[in-house]
Structure 1
């Protein structure tokens, strides 16, 4: 079924927002090498400067979800885009490491708003939700791939402050585009309008009551499932480039000294992210055809198998390694539309912002614990241990998904799904 005008408008607006969140997110590490030389600081200090901004990106999602329910999703997304761009302008004016820290904090706080607000908008405004989730995910992957590529290329020719300013321009253009976008943010929910949604009071008792309602439902299990997906996702994304660089299969493909810093492993990693675009699209289309928890179960099992297969496959040569990385990229991103749709299926429409706030607290906040876990494992144990732990995260997600399927198959939900056309497990 083709998207109607409202669906198309929301799709365009949220795709712009999602791509830019990850455009900024993945360009930041490219600046780290420059800042190390520019400010003559240790890697430890620079890490301490960077960590709070990524922490805000995850843990700020919960208050952002609350604000989205109260003040409206479009308004929050526009503030997110403007705030991220402003953060990069602060970077462009930075003359010291503390100014860099301030710019990164502005970016992290603003970026935390997007996922709960953007996904809440799709879940309540879009009738062809699965298709738009797919397009939305593709846009995010485009941002993930383009951000570091554009930043690295510009840094060859320009000073880093000018590069930071140039990277901010698409964000401000997206704000102008968003101001002109016209859509109904509750167009997919019968009997609900934007005024009713935003007029709801958000007292502490309301917040606690809504939270109790969410975690007394199937959403509690979905939240834990998303957290384990986040542990797998962040661990894999953070350490795969370094792991690839040290594999014997790539030793014969090292480049010469004139191209120092350009490693074959980086190209494989970019390919891994590009294949993820296809995974997002396929996963989103499949959410229109199967219950989200069944899709989660199947993909978690595949991810566990791929993680366990990584070590033996990496010894077979470059071709099998490329195939395995392609499959990992496909399924790592194909799973995302399923958990996004699972949240929409198992939560009331009027608490959708809060629901996605908790979702991305689990995905990006609690899931970021795998950065510390992975670093410890890679430092103290054989590489196979790291992938075994990732497989354990995926298998835990699979078991939780299977348990939720069994429960939902046995007992019908006491709360009917409000959205027209929503899937029911």
Structure 2
């Protein structure tokens, strides 16, 4: 019995998954530390939510826009070297951020981070989809590691800000990239083991991967964009817009609903610097993201058991309800605030392995890098507009109105997921 039949990961699966997990965690450690820092930047640089939301949207947008050229490079050169370049670039961008004295330098540093970070998802997800035989399990663990970084980044940043200036904190955040690079250099694996297993060594043209020209890019893109793949990209765009729209300003939004726990429990001297810096909303935000690890695991496991289109439709519909009820639940008390936050975190991140596996179903193995390039162009590139949209909505209306309008995105995602199930364009 093969490992694919037994449901167990082989050594190659484990090596690739470990490599991807630590790299994925570092990417999101940086990504979600930014909203915590935004709370400080709003006060220190006296900028509006609309302006800062647009600035951050530019950096986050490059996180997605760079995914398409990164996907092309993955199909030509493979994943390992590109992931290493991603890690090094992100560390360097946060080092530059530590020297920022104004919003312009912050913008430049975030743009550099976005370009470097954009490499990861096409490279890492292509690696799992072509190298890991237990793909659903690989996506589940990969997603959990990402959520660890998503939760660890804000938590680590919030804790460090209790003791250090934000510029020193961003300098210290370079360390995770260094650790990940050191680990990555020791990993050994076959990037195409699962594809060889699926095709019996067959129908992928290895020579075709060596040269990428504009005409080939156009031809590959035309071949990739079947009706099913096009609808799948629209689905992940809805996820990206809602993801970025809700998470970017969430630490600041949660501050409006959180009681002053530090004063109630007398955790610090009221006149101490730590009391001034302690923000309980940052810890609730980190906890919400940590709950997302369970969502990633459940979503990943379900991709091996149900049609992903069905899973996407159910989760999107549930997110629509949670978005509409989020503010009334938050206003009802601490218990309902914690409950609705946990639901938001669980559902939001259970989507990720679902749409990642869906893209694999609607794209050929030889073009996985390109397919995930387009995916993250949609998720993080176009999705970055969610940050600007949320910042604008918060500047002209209430938090409840903002969440209700943002609920349009998961509602549209549910409808598109149902439509996707009717196309019949699956490739695998």
Q: What TM-score do the two structures reach when normalised by structure 1? A: 0.87
Q: Distance in 2 between matches of 1:282 and 1:230?
A: 20
**2:9 aligns to what SS in structure 1?**
coil
Q: Which residue does the alignment assign to 1:208?
A: 218
* Conservation of the 8 A alpha-carbon contact between 1:16 and 1:174: yes
* Conservation of the 8 A alpha-carbon contact between 1:134 and 1:337: yes
Alpha-carbon displacement from aligned partner over 1:125-179 (angstroms, at most 9, x marks no partner): 1111111111111111111121232233334444555543432222123223222
Q: Which residue does the alignment assign to 1:223?
A: 233
User: Alpha-carbon deviation of 1:88?
Assistant: 2.8
Query: 196-205 or 127-136, which moves further after superposition?
Result: 196-205
Alpha-carbon displacement from aligned partner over 1:322-341 (angstroms, at most 9, x marks no partner): 21211111111011100000
**1:335 aligns to what SS in structure 2?**
helix
For residues 295-314 of structure 1, the aligned pairs below 5 Å read 295-314=311-330
Q: Distance in 2 between matches of 1:98 and 1:213?
A: 41
The verdict on how the C-alpha distance between 1:379 and 1:139 changes in structure 2, with shifts beyond 3 A counting, is: same
* Conservation of the 8 A alpha-carbon contact between 2:235 and 2:413: yes
Q: Distance in 2 between matches of 1:96 and 1:269?
A: 26
Does residue 286 of structure 2 align to residue 282 of structure 1? no
Q: Which residue does the alignment assign to 2:121?
A: 115
* Conservation of the 8 A alpha-carbon contact between 1:68 and 1:117: yes
Q: Which residue does the alignment assign to 2:263?
A: 255
Q: Distance in 2 between matches of 1:340 and 1:92?
A: 34
* Conservation of the 8 A alpha-carbon contact between 1:138 and 1:278: yes
Unmatched tracts of structure 1, length 5 or more: 418-425
User: Alpha-carbon deviation of 1:41?
Assistant: 4.9
User: Alpha-carbon deviation of 1:407?
Assistant: 2.8
User: Alpha-carbon deviation of 1:3?
Assistant: 1.0
Q: Distance in 1 between matches of 2:368 and 2:207?
A: 10
Does residue 22 of structure 2 align to residue 13 of structure 1? no
User: Alpha-carbon deviation of 1:228?
Assistant: 0.6
Alpha-carbon displacement from aligned partner over 1:105-143 (angstroms, at most 9, x marks no partner): 332211110011111111111111111111111111111
Q: Distance in 1 between matches of 2:378 and 2:217?
A: 18
Q: Distance in 2 between matches of 1:157 and 1:54?
A: 28
Alpha-carbon displacement from aligned partner over 1:301-345 (angstroms, at most 9, x marks no partner): 111111122243234322222212111111110111000000001
Alpha-carbon displacement from aligned partner over 1:368-389 (angstroms, at most 9, x marks no partner): 2122222232233343322222
* Conservation of the 8 A alpha-carbon contact between 1:186 and 1:192: no
Corresponding residue to 1:43 among 43, 47, 56: 47
Alpha-carbon displacement from aligned partner over 1:39-90 (angstroms, at most 9, x marks no partner): x855368777655432321211111111111111111111111221222334
**1:180 aligns to what SS in structure 2?**
coil
* Conservation of the 8 A alpha-carbon contact between 1:7 and 1:128: yes
Q: Which residue does the alignment assign to 1:70?
A: 76
* Conservation of the 8 A alpha-carbon contact between 1:185 and 1:194: no
For residues 3-402 of structure 1, the aligned pairs below 5 Å read 3-31=9-37, 41-43=45-47, 50-92=56-98, 101-158=107-164, 160=166, 162-189=168-195, 190=199, 191=201, 196=206, 199-247=209-257, 250-251=258-259, 253=261, 255=263, 257-258=270-271, 259-402=275-418
Q: Distance in 1 between matches of 2:427 and 2:42?
A: 55
* Conservation of the 8 A alpha-carbon contact between 1:94 and 1:100: yes
C-alpha RMSD of the superposition: 2.7
* Conservation of the 8 A alpha-carbon contact between 1:66 and 1:353: yes
Q: How many positions carry a matched residue from both structures?
A: 408
Q: Using CA pairs under 8 Å that are at least 6 residues apart, name the structure with larger relative contact order, 1 or 2.
A: 2
User: Alpha-carbon deviation of 1:2?
Assistant: 1.9
Q: Distance in 1 between matches of 2:166 and 2:181?
A: 24
**2:173 aligns to what SS in structure 1?**
helix
* Conservation of the 8 A alpha-carbon contact between 1:255 and 1:263: no
Q: Distance in 1 between matches of 2:294 and 2:173?
A: 25
Unmatched tracts of structure 2, length 5 or more: 1-6, 265-269
Q: Distance in 1 between matches of 2:182 and 2:354?
A: 31
Q: Distance in 2 between matches of 1:313 and 1:97?
A: 35
Q: What TM-score do the two structures reach when normalised by structure 2? A: 0.86
Q: Which residue does the alignment assign to 2:267?
A: none
The verdict on how the C-alpha distance between 1:69 and 1:197 changes in structure 2, with shifts beyond 3 A counting, is: farther
Q: Distance in 2 between matches of 1:154 and 1:416?
A: 47
